[in-house]
């Protein structure tokens, strides 16, 4: 359905959808089956100007907003969430540099992302610190003009393929204020002491690279600090306020894709001598799916638009992400059910959508974490 988009935004939407149909759909099944990241799709997306739209023009980007990023994300996820992440998450983590970095850091780290010469990552989660991210243990200790980093990160998107990552580290163990212990430091992936191991056997988004990373006496110049020392936790929360709207857009796109496929299927498939679509029981379910997708879309674009207006509403962003994720899981369940046995085999895309959807309730803050943010606002 058509959200009230400008002419330029409609053009971006159509370009992104065509790109996804032409470049992502043909390789989606293969990348899923073989757990294969596609650098080729990323490079083509860069050529098409679809990467890093929020990066300002002076750093190589298009200087657009989070609404435009949501539009692109939605259209990609409508075809395949794993490949959507290969492209849209190729800049993940770099938002720390965009929001809090110096001009010098922006000039150094942002342009190569837009051209596809580099891939970034955001390394926050640890084996024992996910939802409670403030319990991070990775330490960065000052030594001369460097930080020396030791610790482990878990579930890091682009972990084995990134060129640099923005890492959440503890830089102050003395302060009694728990949330003032952290800093974000940009770490180039080829620094000695870093080991990244790909996590295989994911349930979904298998085209996306996920890794565990160990840091052993990794030396990084102190100039790699992003923003202010001791502000890392607060920076991370602001970062999520923008990026969570993108997870919401992923949910909207993925659910729309599952509905697209189901609409086609129920008109083709016949039972009892007539198309499945002619049953009111089926029509009512399709109507409910479309309604929930539209609700999530409205929430998502409102949240992203407020970010663009400089009026970020953390509770609304949390609502958008939690609702869109849960909605996508629900829609995919209905979609698969209407495909019957065919929905259960990997020749049909709907099972991939079903598997991919679940991550939307887990990453960038599980839905329970979103509800904590919403509840805090209520009280």
- The answer to whether 364 and 244 are in contact (CB under 8 A) is yes
- Residue 124 makes contact with ligand FAD by CB under 6 A: yes
- Residue 359 makes contact with ligand FAD by CB under 6 A: yes
* Pair of tokens at residue 182: 């952290």
What would the DSSP string read from start to end of 252-312?
HHHHHHHHHHHHHHHHH-EETTEEGGGSHHHHHHHHHHHHHHHHHHHHHHHHHHHHHTT--
Instruction: Confirm whether 294 is a catalytic residue.
Output: no
List, in order, residues 6 or more apart from 20 with CB less than 8 Å away: 75, 76, 78, 79, 80, 83, 84
- Residue 123 makes contact with ligand FAD by CB under 6 A: yes
The CB-of-85 to ligand FAD minimum distance in angstroms stands at: 9
Residue 153: its H or E element: strand 146-157
- Residue 160 makes contact with ligand FAD by CB under 6 A: no
Residue 53: its H or E element: none
Q: Where are the alpha helices (DSSP H) in 81-227?
A: 81-88, 95-100, 103-109, 111-115
Q: Pick between residue 122 and residue 253 the one whose CB is nearest to ligand FAD.
A: 122
Q: Which of 126, 229, 361, 364 is catalytic?
A: 364
84: exposed, middle or buried (Cβ count in 10 Å: 0-12, 13-18, 19+): buried
Using CB under 6 A, which of 24, 84, 98, 156 touches ligand FAD? 156
Q: Pick between residue 235 and residue 262 the one whose CB is nearest to ligand FAD.
A: 235
> In sequence order, what are the beta bridge partners of 121?
165
Using CB under 6 A, which of 60, 101, 251, 365 touches ligand FAD? 365
The CB-of-378 to ligand FAD minimum distance in angstroms stands at: 16
Q: Pick between residue 62 and residue 91 the one whose CB is nearest to ligand FAD.
A: 91
| Piece in contact with ligand FAD (CB under 6 A), picked from 60-68, 153-161, 303-311, 343-351 | 153-161
Q: Pick between residue 8 and residue 368 the one whose CB is nearest to ligand FAD.
A: 368
- Residue 130 makes contact with ligand FAD by CB under 6 A: yes
State the residues that interact with ligand FAD by CB under 6 A.
92, 122-125, 130-131, 155-157, 202, 205, 210, 359, 362-366, 368-369
Instruction: Cite the active site residues.
Output: 364
């Amino acid at each position: 359905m058509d959200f009230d988009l400008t002419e330029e935004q409609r053009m971006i939407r159509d370009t992104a959808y065509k790109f996804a149909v032409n470049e992502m759909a043909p390789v989606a099944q293969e990348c899923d089956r073989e757990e294969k990241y596609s650098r080729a799709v990323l490079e083509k997306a860069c050529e098409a100007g679809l990467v890093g739209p929020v990066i300002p023009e002076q750093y190589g980007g298009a200087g657009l907003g989070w609404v435009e990023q949501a539009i692109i994300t939605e259209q990609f996820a409508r075809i395949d969430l794993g490949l959507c992440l290969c492209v849209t998450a190729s800049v993940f983590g770099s938002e720390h540099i965009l929001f809090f970095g110096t001009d010098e850091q922006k000039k150094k780290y942002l342009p190569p992302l837009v051209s596809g010469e580099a891939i970034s990552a955001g390394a926050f989660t640890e084996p024992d610190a996910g939802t409670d991210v403030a319990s991070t243990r990775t330490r960065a200790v000052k030594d001369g003009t460097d930080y020396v980093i030791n610790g482990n990160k878990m579930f890091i998107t682009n972990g084995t393929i990134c060129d640099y990552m923005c890492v959440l580290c503890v830089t102050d163990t003395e302060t009694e204020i728990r949330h003032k212990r952290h800093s974000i430091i940009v770490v180039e992936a080829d620094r000695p002491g870093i080991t990244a191991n790909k996590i295989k056997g994911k349930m979904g988004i298998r085209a996306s690279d996920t890794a565990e990373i160990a840091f052993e006496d990794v030396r990084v110049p102190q100039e790699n600090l992003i923003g202010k020392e001791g502000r890392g936790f607060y920076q991370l929360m602001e970062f999520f306020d923008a990026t969570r709207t993108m997870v919401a857009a992923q949910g909207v796109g993925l659910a729309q894709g599952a509905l697209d496929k189901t609409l086609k299927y129920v008109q083709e498939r016949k039972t009892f001598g007539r198309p499945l679509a002619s049953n009111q029981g089926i029509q009512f379910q399709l109507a409910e799916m479309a309604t929930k997708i539209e609700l999530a879309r409205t929430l998502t674009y409102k949240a992203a638009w407020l970010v663009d207006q400089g009026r970020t509403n953390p509770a609304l962003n949390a609502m958008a992400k939690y609702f869109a994720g849960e909605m996508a899981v629900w829609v995919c369940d209905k979609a698969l059910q209407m495909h019957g046995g065919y929905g259960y085999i990997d020749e049909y895309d709907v099972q991939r959508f079903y598997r991919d959807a679940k991550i939307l309730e887990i990453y960038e803050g599980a839905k329970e974490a979103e509800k904590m943010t919403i509840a805090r606002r209520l009280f």
